[in-house]
Structure 1
């Protein structure tokens, strides 16, 4: 089953839409985090005692970014000509977009963790 999944992911087309999945997820999580903090700070003056909704949203964002990065890793391993890539072939473009997606997924994963860190550290909204 995993082999079938790998072959299916390898056959997917990497486009600019796949490139923006991870940064868009990070941006949505960032917006969600600040709206969540603003609502709870306005209501109670502190972060929620049990921020279950926040941690579920953070976990979901990290899962989407991790899946995006995993797909990019598989797509970046498509066989093609060795470096230097002097000719613009389809496999070179696919590997470039997949490698860029992988790097953006890593950056976005770290960004979501840094966005979620204040909820762990801070107790009140001052």
Structure 2
């Protein structure tokens, strides 16, 4: 675990890292509505246990948690003390990492709430 944490600490958070959690949320949202439309068109109701939907939701949540964890490790790197007036490289890295952590949390909640109708609704009416 320590070796994995050290390896993650060596990674750099960029703007590309920042868009991973909301992109996964958007992809899961699209997947959810396509899955529901196809299921309702073919069967007329949701499956008793939607295995494909559960796998898709789990994959989205794992990717979001992984991105959030990498960003969390990056946000807690040592650097200069506040106030951060000089705008050093480590300050910019921590800002991007903190923004990524917050977006990952929002995206995690969004994926869970997108999956809720499949859990509670069984009818396509």
Deviation at 1:22, TM superposition (A): 0.5
Is 1:105 paired with 2:101?
A: no
Structure 2 equivalent of residue 58 of structure 1: 57
Normalised by the length of structure 2, the TM-score is 0.97
User: How many residue pairs are counted as aligned between the two chains?
Assistant: 125
CA distance in 2, matches of 1:121, 1:83: 47
1:25-64 to 2 correspondences below 5 Å? 25-64=24-63
CA distance in 2, matches of 1:65, 1:98: 13
Deviations 1:52-82 (A, max 9, x none): 0000110110011011111111000111112
Structure 2 equivalent of residue 4 of structure 1: 3
Structure 2 equivalent of residue 89 of structure 1: 88
Gaps of 5+ in 1: none
Structure 1 equivalent of residue 74 of structure 2: 75
Moved over 2 A (4+): none
3-state SS of 2:7 partner: helix
CA distance in 2, matches of 1:53, 1:75: 33
Deviation at 1:13, TM superposition (A): 1.1
Normalised by the length of structure 1, the TM-score is 0.96
Cα-Cα RMSD: 0.7
Gaps of 5+ in 2: none
